[in-house]
Structure 1
Amino acid sequence: MKSLKDQVVWITGASSGIGEALARELSAQGAKLILSSRRIAELERVKSLCAHPNQVHILPLDLTDSDSLEAKAATAIALFGHIDMMVHNGGMSQRALVAETDIAVHREVMELNYFSYIILTKALLPHFIERRSGYFVVTSSVMGKIGTPMRAAYAASKHALHGYFDSLRAEVHQYGIKVTILTPGYIHTPIAVISGDGSFLSSKSEQINGGLPADIAAGQIIKAIQNETYELYIGKFIGEERLALFVKRFLPGLFTRLIPKFGTPK
């Protein structure tokens, strides 16, 4: 089982939710952390809650500012002299019918949920290849494996992550670089949700509000990292999202007939 002690881990989306919970758990296991998001005050709060705040650096980062990301990666490497693990975790959700979703919203979701991950990955890849070691942990979603009503833009961005990082894993295996793709179900987090016209929704769906607590999700993620698991569902053992994954894989015809009702958010 992989030890996390003294591993240098860079986490995006670290100011709340899964990112915050992961930071606290990784610090408790002795990891050295670089925490990134746009909200500096919240990053400071998360740092103060870590077991070893003296081994935590804050690196403010706006994932929507694609022109700044390559330079941010160089800064991150310099903070501890190297990086062992990149946890891609920033992002947004989306809720609207395709017919009511502007093309600009599709592009915004894809830029944040997909292209920001790719830019940072490509910026870190030479560093990992030179060291012949490295680890990319990618927060996708159950929506990266299925598609449901009112989630088309979000599902598309998450499906793209699976294709990209599955291909990357095959390419960098020879350098000892690992890739784990996480497919969380409903997790109780304050994730931003964008509507079809680009405005942000103030309320979360019933499924998110009743989702798995972020600290429990972080524990499942830590185990996946320690076992260097290729891909893992994160969520409740008994839940509709796990059932959806099972039916989609083994009974795709039934899934297609059920999903128009099953997938509609409450």
Structure 2
Amino acid sequence: MNFDNKVIWITGASSGIGQSLALTLSKYNCKLILSSRRASALEDVKQACHTPENVAILPLDLANYNNMKAIADQAILLFGTIDILVNNGGISQRSLIIDTDICVDKKLMDVDYLGTVALSKALLPHFKSNQKGHYVTVTSLMGKFSSPYRSGYCGAKHALHGFFDALRLEHQKDNIKVTMICPGFVNTNVARNAVTGDGSLLQTQDDATQKGLEVSVFTKRMLKAMHKEKFEAYIGKKEVLGVYLKRFFPKLLHKITLKSAVR
């Protein structure tokens, strides 16, 4: 894969998909910048990497999206350039619309959408100056179709597709690539860390997530999509079919989703 001699910046790198990406990419001849809110957890991931001397940590909170220009400048200084930004950081949700305070919707938009957009825009002049760069944004199948209990999450993920499709169109002339990674169910702590209607954490695992793809399997498929510079990649089990049902048979998808026990 074409990751040798690349500088790759990963957000949400302290656990789950981000951690797995860091550990796998550290086996290549590349340099990594790992970001999340938890510096101590990032340090643990760094030390577990194959070549920790090629790994830097840069804590950030996506909710503080007004600070992203300074964060991006710090990231560039770490290794002199950045080739790939993996927008993986974010939070999920499990609550009905009627039970969800508007502040929870705002938090989901602040973190999952505005934080990611602000960071990507902060790095855009660097990519344009270099006349190359690759945004890899982890959204969700929920960015292509929706499910109950995830209204704010679905809204933020749908918004990311709108933004990055526009970015791809505007900056193809600058050799800037955009890959949207759309996971289905992946066996991580995403459900446990999901926010509920009052903003508290769910703190329990759901059956569908537990039975989802193992994160190591997901990571291999994601890296292949990055290598091929795909526009979009849908990675999961049978839930991936929802993308095609939404496009061609939306009423059928509606009926199937209503009958499912997914929460």
Tell me, in whole angstroms, the C-alpha distance in 1 between the residues paired with 2:262 and 2:205: 10
Q: CA deviation at 1:204?
A: 2.1
2:247 alignment partner, one of 245, 249, 263: 249
Tell me, in whole angstroms, the C-alpha distance in 2 between the residues paired with 1:68 and 1:176: 26
> What is the one-letter code of the residue matched to 1:46?
V
Q: CA deviation at 1:24?
A: 1.1
Q: CA deviation at 1:261?
A: 2.2
Match of 1:26 in 2: 25
Secondary structure, counterpart of 2:145 in structure 1: coil
TM-score, structure 2 length as denominator?
A: 0.96
| Deviations, residues 87-118 of structure 1 (Å, cap 9, x unaligned) | 00011110111111111100000100000011
What pairs up with 1:215-230 in 2 under 5 angstroms?
A: 215-230=216-231
TM-score, structure 1 length as denominator?
A: 0.95
Q: CA deviation at 1:258?
A: 2.8
Secondary structure, counterpart of 2:146 in structure 1: coil
Secondary structure, counterpart of 1:93 in structure 2: coil
Tell me, in whole angstroms, the C-alpha distance in 1 between the residues paired with 2:149 and 2:236: 21
> What is the one-letter code of the residue matched to 1:196?
G
Gaps of 5+ in 2: none
> Is the aligned partner of 1:95 residue 2:94?
yes
Supply the RMSD in Å over aligned alpha carbons. Answer: 1.1
Match of 1:8 in 2: 7
Aligned residues of 2:65 and 2:119 also touching (Cα < 8 A): no
Aligned residues: 261
Secondary structure, counterpart of 1:212 in structure 2: coil
Q: CA deviation at 1:250?
A: 2.1
After the TM superposition, list the runs of 4 or more consecutive aligned residues in structure 1 that deviate by more than 6 angstroms.
none
State the identity %: 45
Q: CA deviation at 1:49?
A: 1.5
Aligned residues of 1:24 and 1:51 also touching (Cα < 8 A): yes
Match of 2:262 in 1: 265
Tell me, in whole angstroms, the C-alpha distance in 1 between the residues paired with 2:118 and 2:240: 31
Aligned residues of 1:193 and 1:204 also touching (Cα < 8 A): no
Match of 1:200 in 2: 201
